[in-house]
A and B are shown apart, each in its own frame.
Chain A
Amino acid sequence: MVAQMIEGWNLVIGIEIHAQVNSKSKLFSSSPTDFGSKPNSQVSLIDAAMPGMLPVINKFCIEQAVKSGIGLNAKINKKSIFDRKNYFYQDLPQGYQISQYKDPIVGEGFVEIETENGQKKIGVERLHLEQDAGKSLHDQDPNFTFVDLNRSGIALMEIVSKPDMNSPEEAVEYVRKVRSILRYLGTCDGNMEQGSLRADVNISVNKPGNELGTRCEIKNLNSFKFIHAAIVYEAKRQIKLIEQGECVNQETRLFNTQFGETRSMRSKEDAHDYRYFPDPDLLPLILDDDWIKDLQDSIPELPDQIKERFINEYSLSSYDANIIVSDKATSEYFEDVVKNRNPKLVTTWVTGELFSILNRKNLIIEDSPITSKRLGELVDNIENGKISNRQAKEVLEEMCESGKGALEIIDEKGLSQISDENEIESLVDNVLNSNPENVKKYKNGKDKLFGFFVGEAMKLSKGKANPKIVNDLIKKKLSQ
């Protein structure tokens, strides 16, 4: 549908991601960063911008920015500078945000995403550290705005992409990938619902061969769904304007999640004039080689590397590997289960059956009612032929509801599969002897009856007979 809508048009998309550093205290003050606390209970004199207060930078936040930079294959700048970005707003007590302008801590890098046409490299322009602002509530009172400064001063990493994305799908994949890398690194929890990771999307449209169109920025998108919907809406809006002979104004827009449309927030005439200048309260940040080296050594295996290893070590398909590594908890879970087991079987049970239960119950894998150890036991019982795939599904459901282990449920329900050849042979003989007519018809060419014999034998065993052995035996007997 999107492809149809934009046929004959180029989309050019660049994204700024704001990722909250996973720190206990704020960037320049020792206030806590807990989500959902009582309003204004996490505000120090620095966060409230009381006169005479001086910012002191959080070492952990510097390290997370460097680690994130390494994870984004980016250049680490040994010297970076903090600037004041000046604007007047009620949730910014300082009257300026401490940010980085000309000399960010991290320079150019890239991430690779999967697209319909294979791998694509998306450039990263920079990553810099900055303070978050407070929160304004506009809908509590018709005449007043309410301000909570708990978020004021929390450390953010702003990750700016190059305008390398050309479809809503690519934009979503890019944000997914960056989020995944940050989560593997542990530098940001990536919780979009709580606003730990949000995206501003810049988008313009043009006819192929023509120069780039005028771009609009859509601010503060906090879910993959909204990123996709906002881009689709905005591209349509811009194309319609141009086709009607009108101009796209460069402006900042907000996505209304209720109506699924973007609305102008402020036009270029009111554009902010931030008057950046180096913050005289802060010296340049110098990273020495040893520090960078230590951080490099602390980088864990990242999704791209794990994916490659899974493909090589466990012969996973690129598709399956992608699904599993896209989330850190999932790849850890998978790796717990797959040890010394059949990777193909484990993949099916993790990405198929387990995922469908988690989806249905709206749970993340960290909260899975079935631990990796328990799922492993279930897979063992399938692998050694004790239960069939179908029985295993039943057992998994029961494990989920009762919290019991696979073996316990198999015993309780008497589910254990019959794999004893003699026992099955007597079942098969029984079936063939009681249906002489059908045996005759089968031998005269009515192949379809094969399924009937298998069905009868399975019924006789109350579904417990190993279907493979039943099949083999019937085939053998009927060809005699």
Chain B
Amino acid sequence: MEFDKKSLLKLGKLARISISDDKLNNLSKDLNSILEFVDQLKEIKTDQVDPTSNSLDQKLEVRDDKVDTKNSAEDILENAPEKEMDFFVVPKVIE
């Protein structure tokens, strides 16, 4: 899989990370070498194997439906750069 500059810019946009022109070349090269490395996996024959979503041979742990509140609004908002009337405040979002 080749990662061209256009795909890289799109990926940056999706993650809301701006990628400056001077970094584009190097980043693209880096990403491609990572992908090349991972591509080695394709050499293994897997057509007889079920897709693996997790390599641990364990069952999913479950918990009971119990409420356990550890935070107040004050606690959780303490980390907010901007807050008002118990809300997080972010730049205006217009779809």
Residues from chain B with a CB closer than 8 A to the CB of A31 are 67, 69
Complex: how many Å from CA A278 to CA B59? 15
Most buried by A among B14, B53, B63, B95: B53
Contact of A144 among B54, B61, B92 (CB under 8 A): B92
Asked, given contacts A44-B70, A138-B93, whether A284 binds B53 with beta carbons under 8 Å apart, the answer is yes
B10 within 8 A of A: yes
Q: How far is the CB of A313 from chain B (nearest CB, A)?
A: 36
Complex: how many Å from CA A383 to CA B61? 59
Residues from chain B with a CB closer than 8 A to the CB of A32 are 67, 69
B27 within 8 A of A: no
Q: Are B67 and A30 in contact (CB under 8 A)?
A: yes
Q: Are B72 and A41 in contact (CB under 8 A)?
A: yes
**8 A Cβ contacts from B38-89 to A:** 53-54, 56, 58-73, 76-77, 79, 82, 84-89
B15 within 8 A of A: yes
Closest to A272 in B: B14
Q: Are B64 and A283 in contact (CB under 8 A)?
A: no
Contact of A145 among B71, B76, B91 (CB under 8 A): B91
Residues from chain B with a CB closer than 8 A to the CB of A145 are 89-93
Q: Are A61 and B88 in contact (CB under 8 A)?
A: no
The secondary structure that dominates the B interface is: loop
Residues from chain B with a CB closer than 8 A to the CB of A25 are 65-68
**8 A Cβ contacts from A5-49 to B:** 23-25, 30-32, 38-45, 48
Question: How many residues belonging to A are interface residues under a CB distance threshold of 8 Å?
Answer: 54
Residues from chain A with a CB closer than 8 A to the CB of B77 are 40
A77 within 8 A of B: no
Complex: how many Å from CA A393 to CA B56? 69
Q: How far is the CB of B66 from chain A (nearest CB, A)?
A: 6
B6 within 8 A of A: no
Q: Are B73 and A39 in contact (CB under 8 A)?
A: yes
B16 within 8 A of A: yes
Contact of B53 among A41, A81, A136, A137 (CB under 8 A): A81
Residues from chain B with a CB closer than 8 A to the CB of A41 are 72-73, 86
Residues from chain B with a CB closer than 8 A to the CB of A43 are 71, 73, 76
Complex: how many Å from CA A285 to CA B62? 10
Residues from chain B with a CB closer than 8 A to the CB of A58 are 62-65
Complex: how many Å from CA A137 to CA B92? 10
Q: Are A88 and B63 in contact (CB under 8 A)?
A: no
Q: How far is the CB of B51 from chain A (nearest CB, A)?
A: 8
Q: How far is the CB of A424 from chain B (nearest CB, A)?
A: 64
Q: Are A38 and B86 in contact (CB under 8 A)?
A: yes
Which one of A146-154, A350-358, A370-378 is at the interface? A146-154
Q: Are A273 and B61 in contact (CB under 8 A)?
A: no
Residues of A within 8 A of B (CB): 23-25, 30-32, 38-45, 48, 56-62, 81, 86-90, 95, 103, 136-138, 140-149, 265-266, 273, 275, 278, 280, 282-286
Residues of B within 8 A of A (CB): 10, 14-16, 53-54, 56, 58-73, 76-77, 79, 82, 84-95
Q: Can you report 12 residue pairs joining A to B where beta carbons are below 8 Å apart?
A: A24-B67, A30-B69, A40-B77, A56-B63, A59-B62, A86-B14, A95-B15, A138-B93, A146-B85, A148-B86, A149-B76, A283-B54
Told that A40-B87, A142-B92, A278-B53 touch, could you supply 16 new A-B pairs with CB distance under 8 A? Answer: A23-B65, A25-B66, A31-B67, A38-B73, A39-B73, A39-B86, A39-B87, A40-B76, A45-B70, A56-B63, A57-B63, A138-B94, A144-B82, A145-B93, A146-B85, A283-B61
